[in-house]
Structure 1
Amino acid sequence: MVFSQPTFLFAFLPLVLGLHLLAPRWARNGFLLLASLLFYAWGEGGLVGLLMGSAVLNYLVGRRIVRAGEESAGGSRRRWTAFGIGANLGLLVLFKYAGWLTGGALAFDLPLGISFFTFQAISFLVDIERRDAEPPRSLGDFALYLALFPQLVAGPIVRYRDLAAQIRERAVTSEAFGEGVRRFVFGLAKKVLIADTLAGPADAVFALGPEALGPAIAWLGVAAYTLQIYFDFSGYSDMAIGIGLMLGFRLPENFLHPYASRSITEFWRRWHISLSSWFRDYLYIPLGGSRRGPARTYLNLWIVFLFCGLWHGAAWTFVLWGAYHGLLLVVERLGAGAALRRAPGGLAVAVTVLLVAGGWVLFRAADVTAALDLYAALAGRAGALAQPLALHANAHVWTAMAAGALLSLPVYPALESRLVARGIHPAARAAGAVATLALLVLTIVGISGQTHSPFLYFRF
C-alpha cells in the first residue's frame, strides 16, 4: 500500500484515524500495531513475519543487555549488543546483498523498508547498551516502534529514545491534527504534482543509449531526476510526519531545503537528516570521528560514505556514489569548503547543487557504463541519433520543473515566518485552509490522471 494510492487515501487512512480517535487510550497502541502490520502485509504478504521476527529478536536481546548490566560488568552488555547488531546486519546482508555478492546465485525478494527498520533496531540496541534509552515496557510497545506504518518503509529513521515517551502516552489535539493534515497534503502534492511529473523525462533519459544522448537531453534528464528524488523522498517524509501528527506522534524532520546548501557538508546536514545523523552517531563517532587527526578524519568520512552508498543499494553505482560524496567532503575539509563560504551565496549554492546533481547520475544510472555515457553527454558529446528536448519536455514538465526549483528554496518558510511575525489574521488562517483544500483537490485530480508511481526509496 502506498500513501498516494486511492486505497490508502480514501479507505485505510480515514478508517485508521477515525478508529484511533474513538479507541480508549489503553487500546490505541494495540490497534495501531495491528493497523501497521496490515499496512505492511498488504504489499509484502508473508514477509510481515520477518518484521515481527526482527521485533521479537531485538526486544529479547535488549532485555538481555539490560539484565547483563544488572548482573555483571560491561563486557557482557557489549557482547549481547554485538550479537544483536550482528544478527540485524546478517538479515540485511542476506536479503539485500546476497544476490549481488554471489552473482545472483543466492537472491531473495527485498522486503520493503528492511534498511530502515534494521537501522532503527540497531540504534535501539546501542542506545540501551549506552543507557541512553529506557527499555520498553512490553514487546507490544517495541513492536509498535519498529512497525509504525507512517515511517516504516521509507523513514525517517526514528530513534527509540525519541518515540518511547510518545508510545507510552500521547494526546491528539485539534491543532496538531490540523497541522498534520496540512503537512500530509503538502507532501502528497510534492509527490504527485512534481515528482511524478518529472519521473517521465527522468526515466526516459536515463534509459537512453549513448547514440540517443546529447547535451541538452542529458541535462534535462539530470535536472528532472535531481528535483524528482528530492520531491519524492521529502514528500514521503512530509506525509509520514503529517500522519504522525494526526496520530499524536511527532516524528523528526528529515529535510531542510538541502538544495539551498552552500557546501556538501551543509547539504548532508539538510538531506535525509535521520540517516546522516545515524551514520554520525553509530559509525563516524565510534570510528574516532575527528578526534584522531586530519588523516584519520578523512578516512573516517570516506568509510562512512562508502557504507552510506552501500546502504542505498547493492550495486557498484551506489558504492561509487558514496565514495564520490566522501571525496567531496574530504576536499572541502582540505580548503574548498572555506572557499565556498567566502563565495557569494548564489554561486556557492549553484556549485553545491551542480556537484550533488553530478552524483545523482551514479545514483540513478543502471550501471557504471550508463553513468559514463551520460557524463560524456553532459560534457558535450552528442550521439548520431540525439533526441530533441521537445520529445520529453512539454509545458507540464517545464511547469513542474519551475515549481520544483522555486519550492526547493526556503521561500515558503520565509513567507510564513513574516506572516507569523506580523500576527496572522483569522482571515489568513481561513485562506490557508482553503488553499490546502484546493491543493488536495488538484492533487486528487493529478492522481486520477496518472499511472501508479511507487516512492523511489521503497527499493532501498
Structure 2
Amino acid sequence: MVFSSIIFIFVFLPITVLVYFISPKSIRNFIILISSLIFYGWGEPIYISIMIFSTIFDYINGIIIDKYRNNKALTSGIFLNSIVINLGILFFFKYYGFLISNINGILGLNIEVHTLPLPVGISFYTFQTMSYVIDVYLNKVKVQKNIISFGAYVTMFPQLVAGPIVKYSDVEKELNNRKETFEKFGEGVERFILGLGKKVLLANNIGFLWTTIKGTNIEELSVVTAWIGIIAFTFQIYFDFSGYSDMAIGLGKIFGFNFIENFNYPYISKSVTEFWRRWHMSLGGWFREYVYIPLGGNREGLKKQIRNLLIVWFLTGFWHGASWNFILWGVYFGIFIIIEKLFLGKYLNKHSIFAHIYTMIIIIVGWVLFEFDNVIQGFKYIETMFLLSSNVLVDSSTIYYLKTNGLLFIMLIILSTPLVYNFINKAKKASKIKNILTISLIHIMILFLSISYLINETYNPFLYFRF
C-alpha cells in the first residue's frame, strides 16, 4: 500500500484516524502498532515477521543493556550482538545476491544465487532499531519498557517504508506524552496534500517523460534530449521522495508526532556539501552521528578526516542498493565533498552563480550514475550528454519534448525553490480571512486534481521503495 493510492486515502487512513481518535489515549500507541502492521502486511504479508522480530529483538536488547549496565562485558556483548544481527539480516536480504554474483565473476565460479525480494523499508526500520540500541548503550536515551510503545516507534506506518529515518531520541517524549490538537491536525492534512500533489501531479508527470527517454536506444538520442531526460529524472526523484516525506511528516502531525524535516530545497545549493545538508537530511544525520563522529570525524587530522568521509560515502552509496552504480555514486559525491573541503569551497563562496551551475551539473551527472544499474550504459549516457559520442545535437524528438513539457519544467524549477512556500507562509501570517480561504481552496484543488489523476492513471511508482 502506498500513500498515493485510492485505497489508502479513502479507506485505510479514514478508518485508522477514526479508530485512533475515538480510542482512549492509553491505547493509541496500540492502535498505531496494529494499523502499521496491517499497512505493512498489505503488501508484505510474509516479511512482516522480519520487522516483528527486529522489534522484539532490539526491545529485549535495550532492556538487558539497561538492567545490567554495571556489567560492561555483558552489555558490550549484547550491544555487538544487536549490531551484528541487525546488519546480518539487512545484508542477507539486500546484499547476498550481489556478493555471490561478484564472487562468481571474480573467481569464475557458478554458485547458484536465489534472488530474494527485498522487504520494503528494511533499510529504514533497521537503522531505526539500531539507533535505539546504540543510544541506550551510550546512555543517551532512557530504555523503553513498554513493548507496545516501542513497537509503535519501529512500525509507525507514516514513515515506515521510505523515511524520514526517525531516531528514537526524536520521538522519545512524544511516544507516551504527545498532544493531538485541531491546529496540528490541520497542519498535517495540509502537509499531506502538498506532498500528494508533489508526488502525483509533478513527479509522476515528469517521471513519465524520463521513462520514455530512458527507454530510447542511446544511439538514437540527441545530446539535448539526453539532458532533457536526466533533468526530468532530477526533478522526478526530488518531488517523488520529498513528496513522500511531506506526506509522512503530515501524517505524523495528524497523530501528534513531529518528525524531522528531510528536505530543504536542495536544488538551490551552491556546493555539493550544501546539497547534502539539504537532501535526505535524516540519512545524512544518521551516518554523521553513528559512523562519521565515532570514526573520529574531523578531530584527528586531515588524512583521517578524508578516510572517514570516504567510508561514510561508500556506505551511503551501498545503503541505497546492492549494485556497483550506487557505490560509485556514493564515492563520487564523497570525492567532490573532499575537494570542496580541501580548496574548492573557498572559491565557491566567492562566486555564487558559478557555484550554483557547478553544483547542479555535479548533481545531474550523479543522478545518471544513480539511475543506471548498468554502469557502462550510464557512462555512455554521460558521453552523449557531453558531446563525446557521435549523437546529433538536436532532433525532432528534442523539439517535441520541449514543446510538450516546457511549462511543466518551468513549474518544477519554481517549485524547487522556496518562493511559493515563502509567499504562502507570508499570506498565512497575515491571518486575513481572504488569504485563509484562498489557501484552503488551493489545497482542495490540489487534492481534487491528485485524486482525479490517481483514478485515471496507472503510472504511480515510489522510487525510494526499492531501498
TM-score range, shorter chain: over 0.9
How far apart, CA to CA, are the structure 1 residues paired with 2:333 and 2:84? 27
Distance of 1:140 and 1:356 partners within structure 2? 42
User: Which residue matches 1:63?
Assistant: 63
Residues 1:394 and 1:260: Cα distance change in structure 2 (over 3 Å): closer
Check 1:387–1:306 CA distance in 2 against 1; reply closer, same or farther (3 A cut).
farther
What secondary structure, in the 3-state scheme, does the structure 1 residue paired with 2:294 have?
coil
CA drift of 1:403 comes to 1.1
Structure 1 equivalent of residue 105 of structure 2? none
What does residue 17 of structure 2 align with? 17
Task: Tell me how far 1:386 sits from its aligned partner.
Answer: 8.5
Residues of 1 paired with 2:125 and 2:141: CA distance? 17
Aligned to 1:225: 233
d(CA) in 1 for partners of 2:319 and 2:232? 24
Q: Which residue is 2:193 aligned to?
A: 185
Task: Name the counterpart of 1:445.
Answer: 452
Matched, 1:307 2:315: yes
1:140 equivalenced with 2:148 (yes/no): yes
- Report the counterpart of residue 160 of structure 1 in structure 2: 168
Maintained 8 Å contact 2:203/2:236: yes
Q: Distance in 2 between matches of 1:387 and 1:206?
A: 16
Q: Deviations over 1:323-382 (max 9, x none)?
A: 1000000110111111111113x3322221111111000000131111011011101234
Q: CA deviation at 1:199?
A: 1.1
Provide Cα deviations, 1:221-271, integer angstroms capped at 9, x if missing partner: 110000000000000000000011111111110000011111111111110
1:100 to 79, 98, 101: 98
The 8 Å contact of residues 132 and 168 in structure 2, kept in 1 or not, is answered as: yes
Q: Report % sequence identity.
A: 38
Residues 452 and 26 (structure 1), Cα distance of their counterparts in 2 relative to 1, 3 Å cut: farther
1:459: which partner in 2? 466
Shift of 1:452: 3.9
> Is structure 2 residue 296 aligned with structure 1 residue 298?
no
What one-letter code is carried by the residue in structure 1 that aligns with 2:71?
A: S
- Aligned partners of 2:323 and 2:373 also within 8 Å: no
Please tell me whether residue 350 in structure 1 is matched to residue 394 in structure 2.
no
Is the Cα contact below 8 Å between 1:211 and 1:384 reproduced in 2? no
Match of 1:259 among 267, 270, 273: 267
Structure 1 residue matching 2:166: 3-state secondary structure: coil
Deviation of 1:279 (Å) = 0.4
Q: 1:428 to 1:212 in 2, by over 3 A?
A: same
Give the superposed CA RMSD. Answer: 1.7
Deviation at residue 82 of structure 1 after TM alignment: 1.3
CA distance in 2 between counterparts of 1:395 and 1:11 reads 39
Whether the aligned pair in 1 keeps the contact of 2:222 and 2:398 (CA below 8 Å) is no
Which residues of 2 match residues 402-441 of structure 1 at below 5 A?
402-419=410-427, 423-441=430-448
The answer to which of 203-212 and 152-161 deviates more is: 203-212
Equivalence for 2:136: 128
Are the aligned partners of 1:59 and 1:142 in contact in 2 as well (CA < 8 Å)? yes
How far apart, CA to CA, are the structure 2 residues paired with 1:11 and 1:43?
16
Corresponding residue of 2:179: 171
Partner of 1:434, secondary structure, is helix
Residue of 249, 254, 269 corresponding to 1:246: 254
User: 3-state DSSP class of the match of 1:195?
Assistant: helix
TM-fit CA distance, 1:390: 4.8
| TM-superposition CA deviations, 1:368-410 (whole Å, max 9, x none) | 1110110111012344898643587265533322211111111
Contact 2:196–2:244 under 8 Å retained in 1: yes
AA at the equivalent of 1:124: Y
**CA–CA distance in structure 1, aligned partners of residues 392 and 271 of structure 2:** 37
1:455, CA displacement in angstroms?
A: 0.7
Q: Distance in 2 between matches of 1:410 and 1:351?
A: 20
Written as runs of structure 1 = structure 2, the 5 A alignment for 1:380-391 is 380=387, 381-383=389-391, 388-390=396-398
Give the distance between the partners of 2:174 and 2:137, measured in 1 at CA: 21
CA contact under 8 A between 1:114 and 1:153: conserved in structure 2?
Answer: yes
Distance 2:80 2:247 in 1: 34
Correspondence for 2:335 among 327, 334, 337: 327
Find the residue that maps to 2:140 and give its secondary structure. Answer: coil
CA distance in 1, matches of 2:130, 2:168: 10
| 3-state SS, counterpart of residue 144 of structure 2 | coil
Structure 2: how far apart are the matches of 1:208 and 1:459?
23
Paired letter, 2:310: W
Deviates more, 1:408-417 or 1:91-100: 408-417
1:81 shift after superposition: 1.3
**Alpha-carbon separation, structure 1, partners of 2:238 and 2:308:** 27
Are the aligned partners of 1:201 and 1:392 in contact in 2 as well (CA < 8 Å)? no
1:181 positional shift: 0.7
1:27 deviation in Å? 1.6
Give distance in 1, aligned partners of 2:361 and 2:173: 42
Shift of 1:58: 0.8
Deviates more, 1:25-34 or 1:277-286: 25-34
Measured after TM superposition, the shift of residue 207 of structure 1 is 3.0
How much has 1:209 moved relative to structure 2? 3.1
Question: Conserved in 2, the CA contact under 8 Å of 1:217 and 1:388?
Answer: no
What letter corresponds to residue 406 of structure 1 in structure 2? I
Distance in structure 2 (CA, Å) of the matches to 1:128 and 1:181: 34
Q: Secondary structure at the match of 1:285?
A: helix
The alpha-carbon deviation at position 213 of structure 1 amounts to: 2.2
1-side partners of 2:403 and 2:454: how far apart? Answer: 18
Q: Give the distance between the partners of 2:85 and 2:34, measured in 1 at CA.
A: 25
Q: Residue 255 of structure 1 contacts residue 270 of structure 1 at CA under 8 Å; is this kept in 2?
A: yes
Q: Distance in 2 between matches of 1:387 and 1:196?
A: 25
